[in-house]
Structure 1
Amino acid sequence: MSQHARWRRLAGLGARFLTVGAVSTLIEIAVFNLLVFAFDVDLVMAKIVASLVALVNAYLGNREWTFRDRGGHSRGVELTLFVIVNAACTALGALIVWAGVAVATLLLGREAGPVAVNAVNLGSIAIVVLVRFLLYHFVVFRGARRPKPGATADAT
């Protein structure tokens, strides 16, 4: 495969990943804001719950669309790796929100409001998206998907 073809394939993979991620992000932001501002849930707990809710969409979208041709692991191993990677990414996102809101509070000299909290939350999402893509690509959905039993290889 030529270098140009590799970059084109990676760009397509990245675009699909970002599309699934955008929908998951909207789900995460909506749930986060609902929990924090409507139900007065603790920031870290809200971040964790919102991330977990968005993961259902993320797994299905990435498994069935983004990385549909990848995944040399059995479904059980793949799902286990997905959960481990996302637990680590959720913890990273929560840590960033906790630290970012603490810094914003210090810089502002008062409790951080909705704009500052959401700015920190969006920053945490951006960082975690990059980490998540790399881990999905190189760990969770690694390698070519095995053909189903009885299936023959395509001659093209």
Structure 2
Amino acid sequence: MQLPPRAKRLLALGSRFLTVGAISTVIEIAVFNLLLVGFGWDAVAAKIVASLVALVNAYFGNRQWTFRHRARRQRWLEVSLFIAVNAFCTVLGAVIVWLGVDAAASLLDREPGALVVNVVNLASIVVVVLARFGFYHGVVFRVSPAPRAATEPGTPAHRS
């Protein structure tokens, strides 16, 4: 079965997006452990700095590779949207984990173990990755509208 051209483009875009995300995750883990173990930083401070380093990689990787074919807007606006989307997605992931762990505790009638918490966390990651892709695709690195053909006043534009 042959995929339609639009599906092929979306699959290629999604593959590049996931590759950038995987590289950013490796960077975040490496920087976190370097700061935590190598330099003796506090875990929370190390997590924040590692996340920021990975976020810089994610922005440039997605801007320069995943969505390179998209029109560019003013850099400050694009970066602001990128930060806003990632702040929203971070909160979304935290809320999903909080609700999932709370629901698991209610169902189990006790605090869930590490396995259950990790399953909930993985589910939150899937939701957040899909949300990020949608926001990056439709908001942050959106396609610029096609230029309209000039028409006579009062004549509807021809669409093919």
TM-score by length of 1: 0.70
The match for 1:112 is 112
SS state of the match for residue 60, structure 1?
helix
How far the C-alpha of 1:69 sits from its partner, in A, is 1.6
The match for 2:139 is 139
TM-score by length of 2: 0.68
The match for 1:77 is 77
- How far, CA to CA, are the matches of 2:7 and 2:109 in structure 1? 47
The match for 2:121 is 121
- How far, CA to CA, are the matches of 1:119 and 1:51 in structure 2? 22
Q: CA RMSD in A?
A: 3.2
- How many equivalent pairs are there? 134
SS state of the match for residue 21, structure 1?
helix
How far the C-alpha of 1:114 sits from its partner, in A, is 1.6
Give unpaired runs (5+ residues) of structure 2.
145-160
Deviation sequence 1:23-72 (CA, Å, 0-9, x none): 344566786xxx9xxx9x7xxx89x9476564233212211211112143
Aligned residue runs from structure 1 range 4-83, under 5 A: 4-25=4-25, 49=48, 54-83=54-83
Q: Which amino acid aligns with 1:84?
A: A
The match for 2:156 is none
Give the share of equivalent positions with the same residue, in percent: 60
Q: Which amino acid aligns with 1:102?
A: D
The structure showing larger relative contact order (alpha-carbon pairs under 8 Å, at least 6 residues apart) is 1
- How far, CA to CA, are the matches of 1:53 and 1:27 in structure 2? 8
- How far, CA to CA, are the matches of 1:140 and 1:91 in structure 2? 18
Structure number, greater radius of gyration: 2
- How far, CA to CA, are the matches of 1:101 and 1:80 in structure 2? 32
Specify whether residues 71 and 119 from structure 1 end up closer, same or farther in structure 2 by C-alpha distance, changes over 3 A only.
farther
The match for 1:93 is 93
